[in-house]
Amino acid sequence: MADFTLEFGRYTLELGAKTCIMGILNTTPDSFSDGGRFHTVDKAVRHGLKLVEDGAHILDIGGESSRPFAAPVPEQEELDRVIPVIEALVKQIPVPISIDTVKSGVARHALDAGASIINDITAFEKDPAMAGLAAERQAPVILMHMKGTPETMQVNPDYDDLMTEITGYLASRADYAVQKGIRKEHIILDPGIGFGKTVEHNLVLIRRLEKITALGFPVLVGPSRKSFIQNILSGKEKKPVGPDHARTEYGTLAAVAASVMNGAHIVRVHDVEKVKPFTRILDSIRNA
């Protein structure tokens, strides 16, 4: 696995030998997992502090659900959800905060409040002004592949050649980012597990992750509690296994293991407490 050093502002992240853990902090009432649990500022801040205490290297804060069939929310509502949380946490944690948004207005206010990474699930396609903002602020960016939009992405997703299409898309968006003035060293790629993919697509993406790492950028994978895990574990009997079921957490750990062993530099997860010792063992095996 190639190693990368990500330097920005007062932060330095070494990506490679040690798996970087991104902790998920949803301030939404309707996310597919933990929706509504951290919808107040106090609850969100407490959970953010716990994620960092448990070992998160990055805290990813989002105020708009990207679950399948989710509808967009107004910009001001998204700002009201995330900005007070960022302002409170940045004073108390030593790790960088990423803002999970597709709106450049939200990203700008988040950076002003103390966030330092932009996580855009549309890879600058929804709001082209995002690229200019990232370049202006010298903020690292996470560019993700998604087929369609959250409202449409799980309606019969289909590919002629899964890996060729996704690697080609990510390479083109990275090129676009560089053309807009973003440093190559500040670009992270995300294949978009669960975003416009069937169960089989997600499994192939994780198994063949080296095709994406070969593009020469750090790679983030976010399998945590995703529906493909739930669908597999529900089995032929179709006994429901929800996102917060214990079996889903075990399934998430398996997906994290496969992602790390196949080259993921960053894993985006809900349960940092469980994932931290898990990746420590994985890293020890990889580096032996």
Mean pLDDT for the stretch of residues 13-31: 90
**pLDDT per residue as tens digits for the range 205-222:** 999 999 999 999 999 999
pLDDT band at 235 (very low <50, low <70, confident <90, very high): confident
pTM of the model: 0.93
Q: 178 with 223: CB under 8 angstroms? A: no
Angle between the N-to-C axes of helices 162-179 and 199-207, in degrees from 0 to 180, rounded to the nearest 10: 70
Q: Does residue 226 have an active-site annotation? A: yes
Q: Does residue 67 have an active-site annotation? A: no
Regarding predicted confidence, which is higher, 157 or 208? 208
Catalytic one of 10, 226, 274, 276: 226
In the chain, the domains with their CATH numbers are 4-286 (3.20.20.20)
What tokens appear for 45 in the block?
A: 């801040």
* CA angle 102–105–110, rounded 5-degree value: 85
pLDDT band at 32 (very low <50, low <70, confident <90, very high): very low
Residue with tokens 């700008």: 108
Catalytic one of 67, 81, 197, 268: 268
pLDDT band at 39 (very low <50, low <70, confident <90, very high): low
- Among the residue ranges 59-63, 150-154, 160-164, 215-219, the one predicted with the least confidence is 150-154
Mean pLDDT for the chain overall? 92
What pLDDT sits at residue 99? 98
Helix H or strand E encompassing 38: none
Q: 145 with 191: CB under 8 angstroms? A: yes
Neighbours of 58 (CB within 10 A): 25
End-to-end CA distance of the chain: 13
Mean pLDDT for the stretch of residues 149-168: 83
Q: How far apart are CA 267 and CA 270, in angstroms?
A: 10
